Amino acid sequence: MLQKNRLSDYNRGQLETLRMVRRHLDTLPQAQRRVLQEKIAEYLAFRSDLDAFLQEHFSSVCTFTCYTSHRSACCSREGIITFFADVVINGLQSTEADLDTLQQVLQGSQDEDQCVYLSANGCRWRVRPIVCAMFLCDRAVKTIFENRSPLQSRWEELCRRRLLFTWPDRPVLFDELESFFIDLGCNSPLMYLHNSPGLLRVKQKSRIG
């Protein structure tokens, strides 16, 4: 396994964003922190339904092929997409010790063959990034959904629910959380809903429509 000590651009962006979010969450008045917790409550309910679905229907396949070896296809590379809102939501749901650990691994030596957040016990995030949480490999999809269309319909419903929080063709939580921190003077390469040309076009089109 190749190890490197130099901070990659990817990890630098992650580290700076994590530090920024922590700094602001630590100094926010309690009332504003409560407002943020209320804002994310519906999303957390969605994540709980998602976890229950995956646990019920995918754990048999995924435990055998991935979890026992502590890696899945999405964890086996550096550079998984994390949204700014993922960092905020995880920050709100984590302890200081959890966040210290994330900071330490981002600053430590890196294994090029796997995600920086992967530990021997799995992912170090309390609320994993949404892209990871909804990643299903082709093998699992084929094994679980084949000839089981009601199950596939339930998965598609979860995919639709995800968009209600993340896809900015209407006001969505992920955009709102970026705006909240932008108003505090923050800027991050993970603010895709404010910086990605594709997502900006989605916003633009929905305004025109």
Residues near ligand SF4, by CB under 6 A: 74-75, 80, 115, 117-118, 123, 125, 128-129, 132
Q: What are phi and psi of 34, to 5 degrees?
A: -65, -40
- Cβ proximity to ligand SF4: between 66 and 193 the closer is 66
| Least separation in angstroms between CB 140 and ligand SF4 | 15
For ligand SF4, the closer CB: 10 or 33? 10
Q: What residues pair up with 122 in beta bridges, in sequence order? A: 119
Q: Which is nearer to ligand SF4, 87 or 203 (CB)?
A: 87
Q: Kindly state the smallest distance separating residue 185's Cβ from ligand SF4, in Å.
A: 27
In terms of Cα–Cα distance, which of 45, 199, 21 is closest to 127? 45
Beta strands, E only, the chain = 3-4, 110-111, 118-119, 122-123
* Residue with Cβ nearer ligand SF4 (125 or 180): 125
d(CA 82, CA 65): 24
CB within 8 Å of 16: residues ≥ 6 apart: 188
Q: Which is nearer to ligand SF4, 118 or 191 (CB)?
A: 118
Q: What does each C-alpha distance from 121 to 66, 67, 113, 171, 184 come to in angstroms?
A: 12, 9, 17, 36, 35
At closest approach, how far in Å is the CB of 114 from ligand SF4?
Answer: 8
Task: Tell me how far, at minimum, the Cβ of 190 lies from ligand SF4, in Å.
Answer: 13
Least spacing, CB of residue 133 vs ligand SF4, in Å: 7
